[in-house]
Structure 1
């Protein structure tokens, strides 16, 4: 196999790999957008040493919902539980279970695909009805079917009526972000506290921005209403995190688009030079009007190609341009070249992670972090493959050029 065929094969392989990486990166961006809601989560940090002020309660949640009716709020508390069906059969050993105590708004901010029945409603929460929404995995394991609406399930020795079954997300990346527990959703008002040391402070307090109210305004209002309780929670803006994750794919599109624009500019300049050369040669023996009259079609054709290139440049630029998103905590208020600020921010982040004070860990933040890591690796791989593809492409052009020179 000669050198030209080897380089051509390398070029084709690298191009195929690049296309596959772009498709994969785009796919992960789309799945992240689909699987993670555009919400604000306030995640509970480690338990406070104070016994008087240890977080936000469901009563606090209800007061906030009453005060800010233009927004949707929810919250939840997770607790381990034992599960049996009406025959006393427990799930298989591989299945671990948690009760999620929540309210009627949970399924509005955390959309689930319901495969049977309905969701927790306002009346169930208001009345403290012992109803439960379980996963299809748990239903199939305990009842051998998802047709379980109306059946009773025992949670920590208390009977609950199953009113809904949701489909568990079993995609590979989402599954690796889970903690292995099957979650059973029940109204917080139905839960009986047997342990006097147990509290019902929310693990996560959730809301959502609107077109009129930004997350900054929401945070300011909640700080006034909830006071010190809110300081025990770390806010996570998933809109911002998703935008940051999308940026890696957008950066690649931007690089490819800029390369395309450069090529189009070179082609446009070549057409201009050819047109100027044509006019210079013709003007030696003809008047300008004669040139236009005798070569109208040719000149219009060249101008149409130039116009097409210019339009393509504008379209490509409009498609690839994007605003860079950076979390507020990484932006200095005064001087963007303040190195000490960036060093301190990095140290603070590491210390928070080491102290486990980033807040309550759930599938949303783990899944977002996993996708973010994949997108970073994908971008690095794409840049390497682009470099290899460009090198092989230029080598092919050089070989072709040298061959044409030798032929002459």
Structure 2
């Protein structure tokens, strides 16, 4: 049975809106009682309110840098203490931001750890200090610091453990996300790639904070010890706030870019043991001229810019020498001519048309894949596990991960629809890729490359 993704997502949003409205007429906000204190604005400090800091999330990992982000409940400043031992002896303190003014925020604190050693384990903890009052720099008061738990991570590098996992299309659905996180905790990979559609439509920052930093699951520390690479999906470009996502999710370190590449926030090419992990952004699933975009889409130039960046990334010594080159993206880069997906590649300007796969990305990037020996492309978007072996003109395997459905779509039961964790590790020189069905807790597929 074939899932209509658009109907699934639109119906989900309609039901959510109906649940909120409930058919009850709304009323104007009541005026404050005479003599009551003026409500405190978020950037004026927390006052007497309790303060809390969430679990840290390791983001944008690299050989010598690591991003840390965490949720806070009110205006605060934050630092990360980092050491090369679990007792935190000799720990150094790293402030948020770069040079000049240290940023403070009412909901998210971000710290970038730099000057790290490749393939090295570090221990760290967050320290968050609230402002109880902040009128201006001369009239502000700090509250009691909140010191987080000690966690650890290992940086990327050629001698790191060649073990990764990929999750995708979680769509802020907490029951399948709980199953995915439990599997990641069990497998303990060196890094995780979140390959898009983490969101649905993001109209405000609080939505992104919940999805990435405060998911409504048991293990909210899902990324406190296992770093996460982020690859955007088409839904991660939707919503009036979403262009500011790097306020919640660390973009790649600026040092990874040349001047011409400054706006490539999410692309990565990082060595993890014998694997070169490469992240590409397929963008939206509609052409730039689609009427639904109101002139806001500029993805074709973005894909071409990524092709130029990719050509340079493949020439870097640590990437060129990797025995296994693996590409991660959201929309699949291939569909067989006899496959039902093949005609639907998002090339027409039509209100109902969207990409089942990206022909444009394939034409731009596949020549580079072939030239530099890419062995595997890991994608999502289709909400159904699929494996495409190499074929004429394409020497790489493609594996497509599942979505958030637990054996049921809007059309009824469908056992082929389940969330997945795609695991890759190098064993005896071979890349072994396992697709875990986290709904039934079974191995759904396994290939060796």
TM over 0.5: no
Higher Cα Rg, which structure: 1
TM-score normalised to structure 2 length: 0.23
Q: Which has the higher helix share?
A: 1
Q: Which has the higher strand share?
A: 2
TM-score normalised to structure 1 length: 0.25
